């Protein structure tokens, strides 16, 4: 198992009012374990589509998508859900917290669907909330938090199932530059722990922190460049905290 | 554990829109409560009816004289003779083998007095069997005896209520009562216990009451009063000539009742005699009860259906409104069944809340009906007195099966009407759902 993900000549088509939208027209690249990839490209170039495929929310129209050697195209709906629950952490542009739940309950949601929300996990959820700086906000509702705080809840939520992949779609798109740096710092620490991060962004300041930048244009891979001048926000190998295991014990 | 959490989540989600959830619960509440109420009231009415009919005696056949309409008798002068004759009584008793006993009754409305006190009552001339056939019990003294009839004794027996009004402080036994219109006195030999009314007979709609009765030997009544009587009515006198007002025949076996009734109906095929067969009434009442239950059940089912449609309506709106949440949950690892479970639990919570409160309110039905009636009686007694008898008297009887039935139906409705919105939620494409604004 050399690669966290392998994307092999993937296409994705959407039917739209009798016509076919070619969102991806044949994209290939490999993501090694522990990689930190920024996917960039103009609006409509297929970034979100690619990220959703990586996140097992959908299957490619053609081509192969391997996630830690599992062929995603061969899985059924329930199996895809299990992959999402156990291996993937999502962070969205619009936070996507559940309004009727408290911060702590929002963080617990993935564990609920994994079927393991025991006493130990509850404590861990509080620890994770603590790590992203939400210790005194556990009982708050999402509506009572700022954008940055909400996004930190979302990141905490993406971490509870100790995923190998963290997928972020314009995660800092709604945040100011100071908060953006905070979030990017969190990502950097998570990556230092060995988690593979793939994030969609159109901001150069954000992609500057990634190890690698993949550019899409009209559903095709335009470039795939190692980020030589990577900007580090933190001293090398700063970890979030060693209490969060890189994979579930 | 999983379910418990799902229920907690469901409650939280429902509390996002408290008013909306409340109104939906109200729909089911009304449905469930109406099932229990309608069945309880229906049962109360039919119970009352059956009790009254049973009070007539299932093995009796009641033949009654009916006064012809006045236009038919307008040309005749003086009192018009009508109704049952003594020779008919004798003939039937002698010739119809299935008749075990026969009870002749002559009755007129009269005023009775004792000193200053006066009562409007019913003077009933009859034989000793009367008490047994009508299940009247002696309270004090004794009822009429054959010797009283044979020797035309001027004895009388009072209904409990008459005794109470004429002799509030004294023992009436051994004292006399004055029959005002005839300037005649009767010696009181007994007082009966009070008796609840029985079903209407002789084509009348009013239940038969016993509370104004004064019983005398029928022979005494014939001798002292005769068949022709004058009654003051609305300022003028009205005369009638009747030998017997009623004969209650007792049939030897309940199996012979209907055949005997047919025979009597053939004999008395005339307009001044009306035959009442309690057994037939009882059968009718049972059929009525079934129809009533079915009718009430139908109404209740419709209201539950409306409640169910309310649930479905709300859940469809909720699912659309929470499309984004559904997408998020799917992205975080929820399977389709998890989504179905989540929304189904919400509808079940709604319907159980409606069902439980509906059952609670349903159980209060007898108390509330009673309370309302007492309140109305206190506020406006004349109005209540004018209400039909059933409304004044009926006590709802909770039909035990209606409680699990209503509750069960409400839950089933929750599932049935919740399943479609839940499946719709589960079948959303996660990506589409996430893009939903
Ligand atoms: N569910 C869908 N149905 C139809 N067309 C879609 C759907 N999702 C994406 N597309 C189309 O596919 C193309 C790529 O979309 P997307 O991956 O969202 O682009 P990006 O995230 O790079 O802006 C766009 O033209 C978009 O309109
Ligand atoms: Mg996008």
For β-strands A212-217 and A36-40, DSSP reports them as parallel
Residue ranges of alpha helices (H) inside B86-215 are 86-95, 129-133, 146-150, 160-166
Q: Which range among A4-18, A186-200, B13-27, B197-211 shows the weakest confidence by mean pLDDT?
A: B197-211
Question: Residue B259's pLDDT is what?
Answer: 92
B429 C-beta closer than 6 A to ligand 1: no
Mean pLDDT of B368-376: 89
- Whether B26 shows a pLDDT value over 60: the answer reads yes
B81 shares its domain with B207 = yes
% of chain A residues with pLDDT over 90: 62
CB < 8 Å & 24+ apart, contacts of B293-301: B293/B39, B293/B42, B293/B43, B296/B38, B296/B39, B296/B41, B296/B42, B297/B35, B297/B38, B297/B39, B299/B34, B299/B38, B300/B31, B300/B34, B300/B35, B300/B38, B300/B39, B300/B406, B301/B35, B301/B409
Give the number of other CB atoms < 10 A from CB of residue A83.
19
- Find out whether B84 and B246 touch, Cβ atoms under 8 Å: yes
Q: Which range among B110-114, B201-205, B284-288, B379-383 shows the weakest confidence by mean pLDDT?
A: B201-205
Question: Residue A174's pLDDT is what?
Answer: 87
Mean pLDDT of A5-27: 93
What is the number of domains present in chain B? 2
- Whether B205 shows a pLDDT value over 70: the answer reads no
Ligand minimally distant from the alpha carbon of residue A23: 1
**Residue B276: CA count within 13 A, CB half-sphere:** 24
Task: Say which of A92, A101, A114 has its CB closest to residue B333.
Answer: A114
The model's pLDDT over B315-327, given as tens digits with 9 standing for 90+, comes to: 999 999 999 999 9
Q: How confident is the model at residue B421 (pLDDT cuts 50, 70, 90)?
A: very high
- Whether A245 shows a pLDDT value over 50: the answer reads no
A112 C-beta closer than 6 A to ligand 1: no
B11 shares its domain with B65 = no
Mean pLDDT of A120-126: 88
The model's pLDDT over B36-62, given as tens digits with 9 standing for 90+, comes to: 988 898 888 888 888 878 777 888 899
Question: Residue B410's pLDDT is what?
Answer: 87
Question: Residue B57's pLDDT is what?
Answer: 81
Q: Give, for A22, the enclosing helix (H) or strand (E).
A: strand A19-32
Mean pLDDT of B270-285: 88
Question: Residue A16's pLDDT is what?
Answer: 87
Cβ of A100 within 8 Å of Cβ of B15? The answer is yes
Give the chain A residue whose CA is nearest to the CA of B430: A57
Q: Which of B230, B252, B274 corresponds to the end of one domain?
A: B252
Q: How confident is the model at residue A243 (pLDDT cuts 50, 70, 90)?
A: very low
B180 shares its domain with B73 = yes
Query: How much distance in Å is there from the Cα of A174 to the middle of ligand 2?
Result: 13
Q: How confident is the model at residue B81 (pLDDT cuts 50, 70, 90)?
A: confident
% of chain B residues with pLDDT over 70: 95
Comparing B64 with B296, the larger pLDDT belongs to: B64
% of chain B residues with pLDDT over 90: 49
Nearest to B215 by CA among B117, B118, B103: B103
Give the chain B residue whose CA is nearest to the CA of A83: B333
Mean pLDDT of B391-397: 83
Task: Say which of B15, B16, B332 has its CB closest to residue A113.
Answer: B332
B306 shares its domain with B429 = yes
Question: Residue B9's pLDDT is what?
Answer: 85
B49 shares its domain with B69 = no
Q: How confident is the model at residue A248 (pLDDT cuts 50, 70, 90)?
A: very low
B6 shares its domain with B88 = no
B306 shares its domain with B248 = no
Task: Say which of A52, A101, A113 has its CB closest to residue B338.
Answer: A113
B38 shares its domain with B67 = no
- Find out whether A207 and A38 touch, Cβ atoms under 8 Å: yes
B331 shares its domain with B430 = yes
Task: Say which of B13, B333, B334 has its CB closest to residue A100.
Answer: B13
> Starting at the edge strand that comes first in sequence, how are the strands of the sheet with A88-91 ordered?
A88-91, A165-169, A196-200, A36-40, A212-217, A220-226
What value does the mean pLDDT of chain A take?
89
Residue B261, in any domain of the structure: no
**Ligand 1 atom 27: residue of nearest CA:** A44
B49 shares its domain with B67 = no
Question: Residue A221's pLDDT is what?
Answer: 95
Give the dihedral sign, CA A115/A119/A122/A124: negative
Query: Which tokens hold the place of A74?
Result: 């061969």
Global model pTM greater than 0.95: no
B83 shares its domain with B231 = yes
Domain boundaries of chain A, sorted by first residue = 34-57+87-226
Question: Residue B206's pLDDT is what?
Answer: 63
What value does the mean pLDDT of chain B take?
88
Write out the residues of chain A at the interface with chain B, using a CB-CB cutoff of 8 A. Answer: 52, 55, 57-58, 77-78, 81-82, 84-86, 90, 92, 96-101, 109-110, 112-115, 117, 157, 161
Distance, in angstroms, between B6 CA and closest chain A CA?
10
- Whether B434 shows a pLDDT value over 60: the answer reads yes
Mean pLDDT of A181-188: 89
Torsion of CA B267, B273, B274, B277, to 10 degrees: -50
CATH 3.40.50.300 is the classification of domain A34-57+87-226 = yes
Residue B268, in any domain of the structure: no
Give the number of other CB atoms < 10 A from CB of residue B3.
10
Question: Residue B203's pLDDT is what?
Answer: 59
A43 C-beta closer than 6 A to ligand 1: yes
Phi-psi region of B388 (alpha: psi -120 to 50; beta: other; left: phi over 0): beta
Question: Residue B150's pLDDT is what?
Answer: 93
Question: Residue B209's pLDDT is what?
Answer: 81
Cβ of B333 within 8 Å of Cβ of A100? The answer is no
- Whether A201 shows a pLDDT value over 90: the answer reads yes
Provide the residue range defining the domain that includes B115. 60-252
Interface predicted TM-score of the whole assembly (ipTM), two decimals: 0.92
Residue B90 has φ and ψ, to the nearest 5°, of -60, -45
Comparing A35 with B204, the larger pLDDT belongs to: A35
The model's pLDDT over B151-178, given as tens digits with 9 standing for 90+, comes to: 999 999 999 999 999 999 889 999 999 9
Give the chain A residue whose CA is nearest to the CA of B339: A113
Torsion of CA A71, B342, A151, A238, to 10 degrees: -50
Query: Which tokens hold the place of B329?
Result: 């949950």
B23 shares its domain with B65 = no
Distance, in angstroms, between A68 CA and closest chain B CA?
18
A219 C-beta closer than 6 A to ligand 1: no
Mean pLDDT of B275-279: 89
Q: Is B7 on the interface with A (CB under 8 A)?
A: no
Question: Residue B339's pLDDT is what?
Answer: 95
Ligand minimally distant from the alpha carbon of residue A14: 1
Query: Which tokens hold the place of A135?
Result: 């210790």
Give the chain B residue whose CA is nearest to the CA of A166: B332
Query: How much distance in Å is there from the Cα of A23 to the middle of ligand 1?
Result: 6
């Amino acid at each position: 198992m050399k690669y966290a993900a392998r994307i092999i000549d993937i296409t994705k088509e959407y039917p739209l009012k009798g016509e076919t939208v070619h969102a991806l027209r044949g994209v290939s690249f490999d993501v090694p374990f522990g990689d930190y990839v920024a996917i960039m490209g103009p609006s409509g170039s297929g970034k979100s589509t690619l990220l959703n495929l990586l996140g097992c929310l959908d299957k490619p129209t053609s081509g192969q998508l391997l996630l830690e050697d599992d062929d995603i195209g061969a899985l059924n709906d329930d199996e895809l859900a299990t992959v999402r629950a156990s291996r993937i952490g999502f962070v969205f542009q619009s936070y996507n917290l559940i309004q009727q739940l408290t911060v702590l309950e929002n963080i617990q949601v993935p564990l609920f669907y994994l079927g393991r929300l025991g006493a130990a996990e509850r404590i861990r959820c509080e620890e994770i909330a603590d790590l992203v700086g939400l210790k005194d906000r556990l009982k708050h509702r999402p509506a009572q938090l700022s954008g940055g705080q909400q996004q930190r809840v979302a990141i905490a939520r993406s971490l509870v199932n100790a995923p190998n992949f963290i997928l972020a779609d314009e995660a800092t798109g709604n945040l100011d530059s100071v908060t953006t740096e905070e979030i990017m710092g969190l990502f950097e620490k998570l990556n230092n722990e060995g988690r593979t991060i793939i994030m969609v962004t159109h901001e150069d300041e954000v992609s500057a922190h990634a190890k690698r930048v993949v550019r899409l244009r009209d559903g095709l891979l335009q470039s795939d460049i190692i980020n030589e001048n990577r900007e580090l926000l933190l001293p090398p190998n700063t970890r979030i905290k060693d209490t969060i295991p890189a994979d579930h014990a | 554990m999983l379910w418990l959490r799902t229920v907690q989540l469901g409650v939280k989600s429902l509390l996002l829109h408290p008013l909306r959830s409340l109104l939906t619960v109200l729909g089911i509440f009304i449905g469930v409560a109406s099932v229990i109420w309608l069945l309880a009231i229906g049962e109360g009415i039919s119970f009352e009816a059956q009790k009254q009919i049973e009070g007539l005696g299932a093995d009796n056949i009641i033949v009654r004289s009916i006064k012809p309409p006045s236009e038919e008798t307008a040309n005749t002068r003086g009192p018009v003779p009508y109704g049952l004759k003594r020779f008919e009584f004798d003939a039937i008793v002698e010739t119809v083998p299935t008749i075990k006993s026969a009870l002749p009754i002559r009755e007129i409305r009269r005023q009775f007095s004792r000193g200053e006190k006066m009562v409007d009552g019913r003077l009933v001339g009859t034989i000793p069997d009367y008490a047994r056939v009508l299940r009247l019990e002696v309270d004090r003294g004794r009822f009429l005896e054959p010797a009283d009839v044979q020797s035309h004794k001027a004895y009388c027996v009072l209904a409990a209520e008459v005794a109470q009004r004429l002799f509030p402080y004294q023992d009436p036994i051994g004292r006399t009562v004055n029959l005002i219109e005839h300037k005649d006195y009767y010696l009181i030999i007994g007082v009966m216990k009070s008796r609840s009314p029985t079903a209407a007979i002789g084509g009348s709609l009013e239940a038969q009451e016993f509370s104004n009765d004064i019983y005398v030997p029928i022979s005494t009544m014939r001798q002292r009063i005769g068949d022709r009587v004058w009654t003051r009515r609305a300022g003028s006198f009205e005369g009638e000539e009747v030998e017997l007002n009623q004969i209650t025949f007792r049939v030897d076996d309940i199996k012979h009742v209907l055949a005997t009734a047919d025979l009597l109906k053939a004999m008395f095929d005339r307009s001044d005699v009306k035959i009442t067969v309690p057994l037939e009434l009882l059968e009718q009442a049972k059929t009525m009860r079934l129809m009533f239950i079915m009718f009430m059940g139908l109404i209740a089912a419709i209201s539950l259906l409306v409640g169910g449609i309310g649930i479905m309506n709300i859940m469809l709106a909720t699912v659309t409104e929470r499309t984004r949440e559904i997408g998020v949950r799917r992205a975080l690892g929820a399977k389709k069944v998890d989504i179905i479970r989540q929304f189904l639990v919400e509808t079940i919570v709604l319907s159980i809340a409606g069902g439980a409160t509906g059952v609670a309110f349903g159980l209060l039905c007898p108390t509330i009906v009673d309370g309302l009636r007492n309140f109305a009686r206190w506020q406006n007694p004349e109005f209540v007195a004018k209400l039909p008898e059933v409304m004044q008297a009926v006590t709802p009887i909770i039909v035990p099966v209606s409680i699990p039935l209503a509750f069960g139906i409400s839950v089933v409705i929750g599932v049935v009407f919740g399943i479609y919105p839940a499946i719709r939620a589960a079948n959303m494409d996660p990506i589409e759902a996430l893009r939903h604004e």
